Amino acid sequence: MLLCVFAARAGVYRHDVPAEKYKKLAREQQFDCVGMSLTNCGEDNHGACRYLGGCVLIDKKYVLSAAHLFTRKDIRFDTIYLDKNYKKSDKAAYAAGGSMMILNQPIRDWQDTSTLNFAFRFGDRMYYAKRWLVYPPYLDSINATPRTEFCGDLILIELEDTVAGVTPAVLNETFDEQGSMITCVGYGSSGPANRHDDIDEFYEKIAGQNMVDNIEGFKVNGKASLLSCDFDGPDNKHNRMGSAKPLPLEWEPGGGDCGGGLFRNVKGHWQLVGIITGGGPSSTGFDFASIKGDCYGGIFDGLRISVFNEWIKKSITNFKMTERSVHDEVKKD
Considering only 45-49, 94-98, 164-168, 232-236, which range has the smallest mean pLDDT?
45-49
Region 206-210 average pLDDT = 94
**Local confidence band at 203 (pLDDT 50, 70, 90 cut-offs):** confident
7 closest CA partner among 258, 302, 259, 275: 258
In this prediction, residues 113-121 reach a mean pLDDT of 70
Distance between start and end Cα atoms, the chain? 48
Q: What is the b/e burial string over 41-59, where b = at least 16 CB atoms within 10 angstroms of the residue's CB?
A: beeeeeeebebbbbbbbbb
Q: How far is CA 225 from CA 67, 154, 182, in A?
A: 15, 11, 16
Output the pLDDT for position 144.
62
Backbone angles phi, psi at 309, to 5 degrees: -55, -45
Predicted local confidence at residue 82, as pLDDT: 67
Domain count, the chain: 1
Q: Which domain, by its residues, includes 293?
A: 2-332
Burial of 112 (0-12, 13-18, 19+ CB in 10 A): middle
Q: Please check whether residue 83 is in contact with residue 64, taking contact to mean a CB–CB distance below 8 angstroms.
A: no
Q: If pLDDT is split at 50, 70 and 90, which confidence band does 199 have?
A: low
Nearest Cα residue to 139 out of 82, 70, 92 = 70
Choose between 117 and 176: higher pLDDT. Answer: 176
User: How many other C-beta atoms lie within 10 A of the C-beta of residue 208?
Assistant: 28
Q: What is the pLDDT of residue 139?
A: 75
> Rounded CA gap, 80 and 13, in Å?
26
Which CATH number do you get for residue 110?
A: 2.40.10.120
| Cα distance between residue 65 and residue 306, in whole Å | 15
CA torsion sign for 208, 210, 214, 220 is positive
> How confident is residue 87, by pLDDT bands cut at 50, 70 and 90?
low
Question: Could you tell me which residue, 203 or 213, shows the higher pLDDT?
Answer: 213
Task: Please write the tens of the pLDDT for every residue from 180-192.
Answer: 999 999 998 777 7
- The DSSP bridge partners found for residue 131 are 158
Cα–chain-centroid distance for residue 222? Answer: 23
Instruction: Name which of 234, 278, 251, 233 is nearest 184 in CA terms.
Output: 251
Residue 259 above 90 pLDDT? yes
Kindly report the average pLDDT of the chain as a whole number: 79
Say what percent of the chain tops pLDDT 70.
Answer: 70
What is the reported pTM? 0.79
User: Could you give the C-alpha distances from 78 to 36, 102, 103, 333, in angstroms and in order?
Assistant: 30, 6, 5, 58
Q: What is the pLDDT of residue 85?
A: 65
For the cut 50, the answer to whether the pLDDT of residue 158 exceeds it is yes
pLDDT band at 11 (very low <50, low <70, confident <90, very high): low
**Mean of the pLDDT values across residues 307-314?**
96
